[in-house]
Amino acid sequence: MTQRFRLTVEYDGRPYMGWQRQAHGPSVQQALETAVADITGEEAVVHAAGRTDAGVHAVAMVAHVDIEKPLDAFRLMEGVNARLKFHGEAVAVLAAEQASPDFHARFSCLGRAYEYRLLCRRAPLTWNEGLVWRRPNPLDVEAMRVAAAHLLGRHDFTTFRHVHCQAASPLKTLDRLEVEARGTEVVIHAAARSFLHHQVRSMTGALVLVGEGRWRPEEVKMALEARDRSALRLNAPPDGLWFVAATYPENVG
């Protein structure tokens, strides 16, 4: 009998072309599916709450997989982690539990949350290279907060959408966009039911322009209202972007 398992997954995105399987390079999905196949002999598909891009990280990506072989959740987690380690993957399953048949990591998801981490310092990065975006000078966090407020709510986010985004509509409702100062680190918190391709990175780029004094806060509103990708002057790299949470209805899972 088929069992559905819900997984909480952590990964360092640096070695991967993103979550989704790619013909031209390694992916997080492929790493997990290979590990599942190693311990079950089954070619199962692992579905995720979000399809992160190349170089983007996750601390709590939610995924699910259907397995025929009789296994309990703990044995599945231990087995998959052992195979991931054996293959030298930068992926780990933090938790596993049996899920109801109607649970779907992507389609049941009510909300997704990201963090974008910036580090303000002159010195080059060492151990955290690829994990944060270094800016050489301090950022004006208060001005960034004023700018962020212009993006909250439901808008046409065409300006902040990748040209190859496959979403049916550019309309999205942004529930949270907050800027937090942690000493020399600045963290941007973003939450919504769903995001457009590159939306968080594009919004971060605009806020950094404000933080560096190259844009006034109201210019973020002007860029939004332009509904034109060419109005965006700076797109943040994937390095500092982290998927941090997915939320689901209490009665699903």
Q: Which residues pair with 93 in a beta bridge?
A: 9
Q: How far is CA 115 from CA 135, 149, 175, 188, 240, in A?
A: 16, 17, 14, 6, 8
CB 10 within 8 A of CB 62: no
Q: Of 38, 43, 37, 46, which is closest to residue 5 (Cα–Cα)?
A: 46
Residue 230: exposed, middle, or buried by beta-carbon count in 10 A (0-12, 13-18, 19+)?
A: exposed
Greatest Cα-to-Cα distance within the chain, rounded to the nearest angstrom? 60
- Cα 146 versus chain centre, distance: 24
Distance in angstroms (rounded) separating the CA atoms of residues 32 and 103: 19
The residue annotated as part of the active site, out of 53, 66, 72, 140, is 53
CB 99 within 8 A of CB 64: yes
CB 141 within 8 A of CB 181: yes
Distance in angstroms (rounded) separating the CA atoms of residues 47 and 19: 10
CB 192 within 8 A of CB 111: yes
Residues with Cβ within 8 Å of residue 59, at least 6 apart in sequence: 10, 242, 243, 244
Has 66 been annotated as catalytic? no
Active site residues: 53
